[in-house]
Structure 1
Amino acid sequence: MAAAVAAIVAAVVIAVAVEESMATAAAVVIAVAVADGWEEATVDKLIKEDSRTWDDDVINGLFVPEEAAIIKSIPLSRFPTEDKLFWPWTQTGKYSYKSGYRFLKYEDEVSGATDALAEDRNFWRSIWDLCVPNKIKKFLWRACREVVPTKANLKRRHIMENGSKNRVAWTSSKWNGYQNISPVNFKELLSWIFKNHGNPERFAMVTWSLWNQRNQVRLNKPCCPSNLIEAQAKEKLEEFMATIPDKPATLPRQRTNWKPPDARSFKINFDGAIFKQENKNGIGVVIRDHTGAVMASLAQTVAPAMQPIEIDAVAVARALEFGEEIGITEAVLEGDSELIMNSLKGGGHSIALVEPLLHGAMVFSSRYANCYTLIVEEMAID
């Protein structure tokens, strides 16, 4: 590694979490002053080459505890690798316009993260989560954005001079208390409905029905009388709810039966786990022969806690290393991380974030006379 320690100090350390092939990043600035004599030192001076682990004594001596913890949380590959720049917002590490937009959007959200913004996001999410027809969700969204062409909005946009409002009587007491509030716009009223559990689905149907009645009147078409609107909206809502199929019962799932390798080979099953509260990870490896007999097993903890894809990459390298340690030369490697297993099949270069970690797995697999990978599948119990 040729990057200078000074560059680490001045640079931004990016911790990337990958979940179902989507990355999110949180940036932390390392801003401690560089110690005398370390201005030209390189990153490898922070690593114990014999064990390929961070040198706690050196790091703790150079950095404050919070920054030392960030550095030591970065998993290291089992073998030295060349420095490589990659874009952490895509799986391949290559920049795209879409990923750049997502990054900037995320930066805006983080820099301006407030309780008000979080509440606003929850509000819009609540609209799209309503159990009503999509056209009514769209109507609510447009009404909250004040883009529904009401007379008031048309006047505000200087399209219509007459700003008078239609008044419609609300015959229900389902929204008790709304008479005591004075919302400045429709969004504030709907927000009050959500917060006070005011049956938002029925409210949505009634408001859309009022809007629909207004349009029918404007076009001189038959429409529902005002005093029957709520009853009609309730009936339409019940009809819609009746069309929604019940969610199918979740079937218990189990792994497919373990399949033995051929007589000359061994099967290596591995998995990784994260224990956030303990700030550590767990690695499990089981090696069986063609009869299913357990030849060897391994349980190991690794600290500190990593991201799921990182511990999977570390686990697969450790599994192959463990197989080599007990003298296996032909093996079937089986794991449940589709991303990791498919990357190994392609040479370990398809996931930029963990490519250095998978390099170790590729080195260990090359030492086997024959080694191929399988993905553990799951199936529902009949």
Structure 2
Amino acid sequence: MTGLEEATVDSLICDDSMTWNLPLLHSMFMARDVESILSIPLSKRKPADVLIWTGTKQGTFSVKSAYRMLYSHQVVAEASSSSSRNSAQQFWSSIWATSVPPKVRVFIWQACKGILPTQTLFDKGISNTFSCVWCGEEAETEDHLLWRCEFAQRVWKECPVTFAKSVHADMSFTDFIDCCLMDLASPSLEITLFTAWAIWKARNELVWNEHSTPVAELCQQAAGSALDFLESRSMHTESFTPSNGVPELKWKPPEGMNYKLNFSCKLGNDPYQVGLGVLVRDSSGLVAASMWRQFSGEGCGLQVHTQALLLALEFAFSIGLQDWKWMSAKRAVWAVAKAWPVLLIWEF
């Protein structure tokens, strides 16, 4: 038989008897494959070949049935992905439960769904090029733009968050976010999501305003925004009312030319690993400096918060704020001892 690459199934059937051509089958297939082929029944009526769509009971194609089939396949793929340690439902629920602004949560959801308006929307007339705006070498997909691109990798290396060893440059952005949801505690997780959002904003600044954002500036803005948002949430949800009836503590900008340092720390999954976030604001309430780091906590909660306070003061000293009011520092340490779960404020 010639033209094997164009041969069809009917070439293996004896047309006069409507049976399988055994000599031909044995000459072309292995024994176990021949056995499988012979188990397929052949109709003696010789019906004409017709196209049948399995998406409907009637066998006829419809756009609605195609949409349902694609959606069901997508759900199954998400739920059974070998690279994801969360189920699909847990993954999306974890994203919506993160302590970031709604716009950042929606952005992460869109990126993981693959529906961001990137350059690959060429076929919809939105863009006239596929290429990444930074490297110009790869198609601008969510995975490339937010994770695999050389520019994005420089951002993530500059990011103050320490990622798990399982994170690597060849993984998808969705898998990266999945690892972060599983492994990172606050404020590391929030800084990560804000950094992804900052990459997207920097991309839009370059596309629409031709403004290039330096990597260091991008990372600093993302970390500062994350810590600022967490602190604002804490101020709205937590209050400090001592037993003597003093009104609840509310944040106020420092007076004159002073600066105010705020810090918060939280234990991670490992009880000895502590996340520390520090914000320094000027008299107008604007963020002058920010810092995030992890440290190994020792002792009880009181001792851990005292260690965090000292690290926060060391950070203020390192950026040049050295004219400290030591009596205020003593009062801050006293505040740790009296009410360590509260977000502390210290002026200098």
The answer to whether TM tops 0.5 is no
TM range (shorter): 0.3 to 0.5
Structure number with the higher strand fraction is 1
Structure number with the higher helix fraction is 2
